[in-house]
Structure formats: C-alpha cells, structure tokens
Amino acid sequence: MKEVKKLSAEYEQTPPCILIVDDKPANIIALEATLEDYNLRTISALSGAEALGYCHENEFACVLLDVQMPEMDGFETAELMRQNTNMANTPIIFITASEASEEHVLKGYNIGAVDYLIKPIDPDVVCKKVATYCELFNKRHAATYNKQLTSANTVLREKNHELEAINLQTEQEKSLSESALAIANQKLDHFLDVDQSTKPLSSVNHEQAPLYERSDNVFSALLIDYCDVLTKYVTSNSTEKIQLKPSLAKIANIIGDHCGTPRDIIEMHLLAVKKQTTTAKKKQEAIFTMEGRLMLLEIMGMLVNYYREKLLSQDN
C-alpha cells in the first residue's frame, strides 16, 4: 500500500482510498505514479482474490480494475465485489488492453461498471475521473457526518432540557428543605432545653431513669437502628424520605414503650451523627447536620403523638 504525502487543497478530509487491481506489477506502479500528485491512498492487488480480501476491510472511493487477468478476470471480480456490502455502490472503472467489444461493454455496465479505460491510459483522463469519484465520496461522507452531528446535537439539547428540569426540581426541593430546616432549628432549640426535654410528655410512668442511662441495652439496640435510618434519610430524596416514616415511627414507639423522653432521642441523635461523621468530609458532615435535624424533629413529633394516643386510650 502506498500513501501519498503531497497534500491537495481538494481534499481536506481523511484522504480517500483507491483500489488498483492488475496482475502486472508494472501497470500498478504506473497508475500509482499517475495519481501521486493527489491526496489519495492506494491499495494494490495482483489478483481478483487478493482484491476481494481488501474489500472486507476497507471502503474505497473507486476501483481501477483490469479486465484481463488469469484465474479470475475483472468481470468475475466485479460481480463478487458487488456482493460485499462495502462495495455495493463503489464506482468500478474497467481497464482493458484492447478496444472493448459492445458485448464486453454491456457486460461491464450490467455488473456495475461506471467507465472503461483503454491502454495505454491517458494520465490526465485517469486523474480527472478518479478525482471526480473521490470528490463524490467525500461529499457523501460529509453528508453522513453532518446528519450524525445533527442527530447528536438534537440528543444533546434534549439532555440539556432534562438536566435543566432536574436542576429546577433540585432548587425547589432545596428551598423547601431550607425552610423546613429553619423551622426545625427553632423547635429543636426548645427541645434542647434540658429542663424541658427530660420532663415527661404525659402522665404515663416516667419514674425510671432515662433510656441512655439504663443498663438494659434498649438504648444500644435503638442506636444501631437509628444510625441505619439516619444514613438512609440523609441520602434520600423527598419521596424516599416518606418511605422511611414507618422506620422512624417504629423507633419512636419503642422509645415510648420504654417511657423515653425527647432527651433520649437527642442523646441518640448526637451519638449517631458523631459516629457517622467521624471519617466524613466536611461537606458530608454539613449534610448530616442539616438533614439529620429534620429527621430528629420528625421522630420527636412521632413520640409526642405516641404519648397523645396513649393518653386518649387511657381516658377511654
């Protein structure tokens, strides 16, 4: 294979490739020399069988095919080329050493030949014909590329619209989250008053020591569950947070069953956050702090509801 180094202004894309098929090496050398002033690549084959092997691996702008070759002549080679998907529409120029008969010309055109050249070949004629087919080849590829580029741009615009919608939803959720956090911080400041948070929430028996000071392992078991739910809560979206409510309610109910107080929840929460953020980056720690407060407020509300329902059931 010979790659021409001299560039031509006609072809600024990847140089098109020409297949030259002739059983005589001297003829191939002559054709390559004729085309060397063009920005082309040439692949040469000394037989029809060799040429067919190249057709499976390459896409050609055109083929210069000798008619009179031993074993497999140009007509048979061209017929087999047309059976290859890569070569179905590739221009084939037949080259013959003698004046082609009308029968041969018709046979060649029926196979798919686009032209006949008679030896000795006029270099200017060969160059002009090959240049024309190369230009068509490049234009066809440019059209295909532009079509693919247009399609890619359409997909990109659609993805950008989807991303904009996601960003808008994220900003809205962030705004709601910040609003809820502000309310949560106000209420949490009230709960953090030790005198308030250690007082019973109802007339239910609270004479026992706080959960976090008892030795019955209830607090330790709850802490494990709390850490697990906290991790999921912090990394969940608003829909997934709703799905975690049963887990929060379960923890609140167990605390209520053991006469726990908001102080127990606060102690549990502080331990869980400390455990989860020990090795976390600052950004992750900030997220745990912000989202965790929302979860803390929610589970405290559930504990209040637990005791409210307990009182109502006692009154009935």
Distances (CA, A) of 197 to 28, 213, 256, 261, 263: 97, 15, 14, 7, 5
Determine which of 17-21, 27-31, 199-203, 215-219 has the lowest per-residue pLDDT on average.
199-203
Return the percentage of the chain with pLDDT > 90, whole number.
Answer: 12
Judged against a pLDDT cut of 50, whether residue 4 lies above it is answered with no
pLDDT number for residue 100: 60
pLDDT number for residue 261: 81
Q: Model confidence over 126-144: pLDDT tens digits? A: 888 888 888 888 887 776 6
Q: Model confidence over 254-285: pLDDT tens digits? A: 888 888 888 888 888 888 888 777 665 655 66
pLDDT number for residue 19: 94
Judged against a pLDDT cut of 90, whether residue 50 lies above it is answered with yes
pLDDT number for residue 255: 87
Determine which of 31-45, 67-81, 163-177 has the lowest per-residue pLDDT on average.
163-177
CA-to-CA distance for 215 and 208, rounded, in angstroms? 12
Judged against a pLDDT cut of 50, whether residue 116 lies above it is answered with yes
pLDDT number for residue 198: 47
* Count of residues in the chain: 316
**Highest mean pLDDT: which of 1-5, 207-211, 305-309?**
305-309
CA-to-CA distance for 77 and 66, rounded, in angstroms? 10
pLDDT number for residue 174: 63
Q: Which residues pair with 62 in a beta bridge?
A: 18
